[in-house]
Structure 1
């Protein structure tokens, strides 16, 4: 298959050019640089340079992870060796940013190939969401003629998910896992809580969406025109943390260095982690919160709205019968994790936004939302609701 000559693009701006090995699926040599300021944040090494290895790290992270459920079956059915092949066939395009790979030997334009403005089929999304897991769905695409040009080729994470065009809008659908398919309902429960404690625009609203025979969570794309999402991991990656700063202080400093206000950053993080505590979100990590940058001005304009809260309310625990079933470690901002309430206390002094009355009746709403799931027994719902009520009580005491 040989070498390809690619240009890493940020929308219409060339960042750098490199040779790409089509068999190894990686860059072999940087051939020239163009506008390095438009490069992905986090791709520079500790010396501030962009190297071949950093390009390959970024590119490998862009593909569907090998840990995604049913991914081996998908690759086998498509006769592909790697999920990177899927990314190659879609120019590396995503609906989370504006980066893509332009082939110098067959150049394209952003306007003709991007998925924000151009339609895409549901072929690949049908498979990445696991809707053909039975192998007998009447809606399954013909593997011999499937259209692989899709933003689902660069959709990260282990959960089954896909982008779908609904009424002209780009909608992200996510499946639940395990025995009760609880995660989609958790996202709706999180939205109800966020709407009580946050302002519009500070959180991403989720709804339930039926597609085929299953219920998924659904949300619209959080990005406005010319915006990109930058994960918190990329904000701090390859930047040395000073010894006198905690992990939280270091992250806030990096946000300030990129143009955001420290008080606003701390306040918005406080809101997110208070809600995460109430919901027992066990999976908040550096890749599912972050900041938003304008790709034309290269200005960081705001914090990303809170998203991806489905792994909460003990959805990974089957019985919820003993105290240990309710325990988990909160991940940021301490190596090895910490007690969830200790994570909340990191934001002491930034709780002026909290109104206790906003939580009145929340557990009634939570019960109503979870009761829509026919797979969750009433006993489990009551256990979850009672535990959340206790957590609300803890938050009210901490906020006094």
Structure 2
């Protein structure tokens, strides 16, 4: 066992013991500044909880569902994703939390990924490539979420997330660009812009700049949802609105945000709006909530995993997070936002034509189905 300190940027939060051989947390030994802890670590009385800390640490690791993860771990000669997190001090590009051994003189400004360069070695390994025998494992890729292959890169001085699609259509990156173009055409402001590049085999990959800065953090909807005990009479949506209000966002603001998000997800048939791909942004210095996080991660939409012959606009369409079907979830919308319906055809056709993995009959089917969905709704 070794003693470690959890910090939020330069602020010590708590001390804990860890088994470094397994990268498993054993117990909390000292609490210093609990208000600076990740909110998912705090119990309902605002005090750090051992079980919640363990869950938080495990959630920082790459999920075991990540495509190609086993091969990547073998390339990196590392036994587990938790050990990989430990190799990079738990650092992330989604927040400012990190750990160091008690007594270490290591400083935030020396090691954080917002201000310091990092190696491409882990990112390349996650895509099945090994550039050298000795790999530098200090990387923000170690704490990336989700099942699709992805990696952080420094592009023109900015931190950018590069994300692959899934076989056999590799459609998710194209969907991100389509969503970007629709939101732009709608003069919508609170979203992350994506563009598309191709790998050596012509497979599309999405690229977006990081929307978290060295002074902010993303608090996921999952952490928000778990921050307060849910009343028996409250639906999941009502509970989420109440949690946001407790953290500093007025209920009417959250209702408007959710109406925008749920409506857009309905229109593009987003199947995967889970509690880790929306949330709020908080200033880590003042601990003030700045507002809801922008729209991001719209790739699991537009029938991305449906065989072309089975694409249809009618009937049940899977949804998250508050209902399992979009026709039921859209009933939760309290304000109906207006998203652009002109030019939908040309947007879809021009974007999907970028990929050699999209056949024309599939493009036509998705284009007509999406256009009909917009027209039927409005």
Shorter chain as denominator, the TM-score bin is over 0.9
Which residue of 354, 361, 385 maps to 2:338? 354
Residue 6 of structure 1 corresponds to: 4
Q: Is the 8 A contact 1:42 1:236 kept in 2?
A: no
Residues 105-114 or 376-385, more deviating: 105-114
Q: Equivalent residue for 2:208?
A: 219
Structure 2 residue aligned with 1:156 = 145
Residues 322 and 387 of structure 1: CA distance in aligned 2, closer, same or farther (over 3 Å): closer
Q: 2:117 aligns with which of 96, 119, 130?
A: 119
Deviates more, 1:323-332 or 1:303-312: 323-332
Cα distance in 2 for partners of 1:186, 1:322 equals: 15
**Aligned-partner Cα distance in 2 for 1:62–1:325:** 38
Cα 1:33/1:112, change in 2 over 3 Å: same
Secondary structure at the counterpart of residue 145 of structure 1 = coil
Q: Is the 8 A contact 2:35 2:46 kept in 1?
A: no
1:35 to 29, 33, 55: 33
Matching of residue 340 in structure 1 with residue 326 in structure 2: yes
Q: 1:119 to 1:43 in 2, by over 3 A?
A: same
Contact 1:314 1:326 in 2 (8 A): no
1:97 to 85, 92, 95: 95
Alpha-carbon distance in structure 1 between the residues aligned to 2:185 and 2:233: 36
Whether the 8 Å contact between 2:173 and 2:205 is mirrored in structure 1 is yes
Deviation at 1:260, TM superposition (A): 0.8
Query: Which residue does 2:287 correspond to in 1?
Result: 298
| 2:272 equivalent among 279, 283, 294 | 283
Aligned equivalents of 2:123, 2:148: Cα separation in 1: 13
- CA distance 1:40–1:69, change in 2 (3 Å): same
Give the deviation of 1:74 after TM superposition.
1.5
With structure 2 as the length reference, what TM-score do the two structures score?
0.95
Is the contact between residue 96 and residue 214 of structure 2 (CA under 8 Å) also seen in structure 1?
no
Deviation of residue 131 (structure 1)? Answer: 4.5
Question: Judging changes above 3 Å, is the alpha-carbon distance between structure 1 residues 325 and 70 closer, same or farther for their aligned structure 2 residues?
Answer: farther
**RMSD (Å) for aligned C-alpha atoms:** 1.8
Secondary structure at 1:242's aligned position in 2?
coil
TM-superposed CA distance for 1:243, in Å, is: 2.4
The counterpart of 1:85, out of the listed 77, 83, 86, is 83
Provide the rounded CA distance (Å) in 2 between the counterparts of 1:67 and 1:298: 33
Gaps of 5+ in 2: none
Distance in 1 (alpha carbons) for counterparts of 2:185 and 2:38? 34
Contact kept, 8 Å, 1:6 with 1:17, in 2: the verdict is: yes
Render the CA deviation track for 1:313-370: whole Å, top value 9, x for unaligned: 1111123337599743212214xx2x2132122113x12x426xx3211222111111
* Contact 2:3–2:102 (CA under 8 A) maintained in structure 1: yes
Mapped contact 2:280–2:293 kept (Cα < 8 A): yes
TM superposition shift of 1:219: 0.3
Q: How many residues align?
A: 377
The answer (yes or no) to whether the contact 2:39–2:227 under 8 Å persists in 1 is no
TM-score, normalized by length of structure 1? 0.90
Deviation at 1:172, TM superposition (A): 0.2
